């Protein structure tokens, strides 16, 4: 069995995480028992939700245990199998974690699944055709309930979730306006992803200024919004939200390091009769087949051109993750492990 390299959570961050919160260790891979599969991971997904898991406090999931492999989605190749449904050489997806090899109990429902890499690159199964894409699909369809002719917005528009959201909303005939950080990201959102407009939040010092820019980009107001950031961005959107608007809350990355995120005008929820709903996509597995089918088609036909930022090698994962939390990535953040 191969020697494995693993990144564990060594200690919990206080405020912003640092590379010293992680530790790279070497371990021997145990022999397989019946029902297990050994996967060599090709790509590791880095996602904002991991920051919340690093804390010991209350969250929607259990905290990441100390001195254990960091949680994370992976795609890779079966290199040994003691399960009848998986054979050597197959491409698979799992929650393999921050490590080069993973021993997966394939008998557990959903623990390991085949992916078809004939139409799309395997890395996309961690982004547009994976959890981020399904997150966008659920928020747009089940919470925002997007309809043709309506105006919808999304923060972190150039990221893995935001880019999928834009393609899905355009397919439904919506006017789609993104919010992103920096001219390069906004240009990509409009010119490559096909959004109708994109606002650079870095050009605005407060939510009032950002809201004025939203008014120009959304002359008919905002009917639905997908929130990944919180703080100033959400305050600006709420000022432009129409009566009976709907807001899907997926993330609040502006507050992931413990910063308070007070809402500037909470009375707008009542005055505009808004629906604001937070969700965790793993609690809605019933929508995944339909969502993945549509997302696969969008990527395969070129209607969604997801961008990726790829760090090289497992040792690069901590710094890449810290950069993700600061918005330094462009599109989906991955680590290439081979």
> pLDDT per position in the chain (338 positions), as tens?
899 999 999 999 999 999 999 999 999 999 999 999 999 999 999 999 999 999 998 777 889 999 999 999 999 999 999 999 999 999 999 999 999 999 999 999 999 999 988 889 999 999 999 999 999 999 999 999 999 999 999 999 999 999 999 999 999 999 999 999 999 999 999 999 999 999 999 999 999 999 999 999 999 999 999 999 999 999 999 999 999 999 999 999 888 888 889 999 999 999 999 999 999 999 999 999 999 999 999 999 999 999 999 999 999 999 999 999 998 999 999 999 99
Asked whether residue 100 falls in the same domain as residue 135, the answer is no
To 5 degrees, how large is the angle CA 51–CA 285–CA 39? 65
CA pair distance 255, 15, nearest whole angstrom: 10
Whole-model pTM?
Answer: 0.93
Confirm whether 67 is domain-assigned: yes
Residue whose token pair is 């810290």: 322
Q: Are strands 222-227 and 241-249 parallel, antiparallel or unpaired?
A: parallel
Asked whether residue 19 falls in the same domain as residue 63, the answer is yes
Confirm whether 328 is domain-assigned: yes
Asked whether residue 241 falls in the same domain as residue 276, the answer is yes
Q: How far are the Cα atoms of 114, 141, 167, 208 from residue 303, in angstroms, in the given order? A: 24, 18, 7, 34
CA 261 vs. chain centroid, Å, equals: 21
Q: How far are the Cα atoms of 67, 218, 220 from residue 150, in angstroms, in the given order? A: 48, 10, 9
* Containing structural domain, residue 247: 131-282
Asked whether residue 115 falls in the same domain as residue 146, the answer is no
CA pair distance 285, 288, nearest whole angstrom: 5
Cα radius of gyration (the chain):
20
Asked whether residue 22 falls in the same domain as residue 91, the answer is yes
Confirm whether 300 is domain-assigned: no
Confirm whether 212 is domain-assigned: yes
The helix-helix angle for 160-171 and 288-300 (nearest 10°) equals: 90
Asked whether residue 194 falls in the same domain as residue 92, the answer is no
Number of independent structural domains in the chain: 2
Asked whether residue 163 falls in the same domain as residue 117, the answer is no
pLDDT at 30 (0 to 100): 94
**Any bridge partners for residue 61, and if so which?**
none
Show contacts of 206-211: CB within 8 Å, 24+ apart: 206/232, 207/232, 207/233, 207/235, 207/236, 207/239, 207/264, 208/236, 208/239, 210/179, 210/236, 211/235, 211/236, 211/237, 211/239, 211/240
Confirm whether 215 is domain-assigned: yes
Asked whether residue 169 falls in the same domain as residue 278, the answer is yes
Domain harbouring 219, CATH code: 3.40.50.720
Asked whether residue 185 falls in the same domain as residue 264, the answer is yes
**What is the per-residue pLDDT across 220-232, written as a single tens digit (0 to 9) for each?**
999 999 999 999 9
Asked whether residue 330 falls in the same domain as residue 276, the answer is no
- Phi, psi (degrees; rounded to nearest 5) at 126: -100, -5
Residue ending a domain, choose from 249, 266, 282: 282
Domain harbouring 12, CATH code: 3.90.180.10
DSSP state, residue 69: B
Confirm whether 136 is domain-assigned: yes
E-strand stretches of the chain: 3-9, 22-28, 36-45, 74-81, 91-94, 101-105, 112-114, 151-155, 175-180, 197-200, 222-227, 241-249, 275-278, 308-312, 332-336
DSSP state, residue 141: I
Asked whether residue 190 falls in the same domain as residue 95, the answer is no
Nearest to 157, CA basis, from 303, 317, 306, 338: 306
Asked whether residue 311 falls in the same domain as residue 325, the answer is yes
Confirm whether 289 is domain-assigned: no
Confirm whether 325 is domain-assigned: yes
pLDDT at 60 (0 to 100): 79
Q: What is the DSSP string of 280-326?
A: -GGG-GGGHHHHHHHHHHHHHTTS----EEEEESGGGHHHHHHHHHT
CA pair distance 320, 64, nearest whole angstrom: 18
């Amino acid at each position: 069995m191969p020697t494995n390299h693993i990144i564990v959570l060594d200690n919990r961050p206080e405020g912003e995480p640092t590379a010293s919160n992680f530790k790279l260790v070497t371990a021997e891979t145990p022999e397989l028992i019946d029902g297990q599969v050994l996967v060599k991971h090709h790509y590791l997904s880095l996602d904002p939700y991991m920051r919340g898991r690093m804390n010991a406090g209350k969250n929607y999931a259990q905290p990441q245990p100390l001195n254990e492999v960091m949680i994370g989605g992976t795609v890779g190749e079966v290199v040994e199998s003691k399960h009848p449904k998986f054979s050597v050489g197959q491409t698979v997806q799992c929650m393999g974690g921050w490590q080069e090899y993973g021993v997966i109990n394939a008998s557990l429902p959903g623990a390991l699944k085949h992916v078809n890499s004939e139409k799309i690159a395997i890395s996309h199964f961690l982004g547009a055709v994976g959890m981020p894409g399904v997150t966008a699909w659920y928020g747009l369809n089940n919470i925002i309930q997007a309809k043709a002719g309506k105006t919808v917005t999304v923060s972190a528009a150039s990221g893995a979730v935001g880019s999928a959201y834009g393609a899905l909303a355009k397919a439904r005939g919506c006017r789609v306006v993104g919010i992103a950080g920096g001219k390069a990201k906004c240009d990509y959102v409009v010119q490559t992803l096909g959004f109708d407009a994109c606002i650079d939040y870095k050009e605005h010092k407060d939510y009032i200024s950002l809201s004025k820019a939203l008014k120009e980009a959304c002359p008919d107001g905002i009917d639905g919004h997908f929130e990944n950031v919180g703080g100033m961005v959400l305050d600006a959107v709420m000022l432009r939200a129409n009566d009976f608007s709907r807001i899907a809350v997926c993330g609040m990355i502006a507050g992931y390091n413990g910063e308070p995120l007070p809402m500037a005008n909470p009375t707008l929820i009542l005055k505009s009769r808004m629906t604001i709903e937070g969700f965790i996509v793993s609690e809605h597995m019933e929508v995944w087949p339909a969502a993945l089918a549509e997302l696969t088609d969008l990527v395969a036909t070129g209607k969604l051109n997801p961008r990726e930022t790829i760090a090289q090698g497992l040792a690069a994962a901590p710094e890449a993750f810290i950069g993700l939390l600061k918005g330094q990535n462009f599109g989906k953040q991955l680590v290439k492990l081979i």
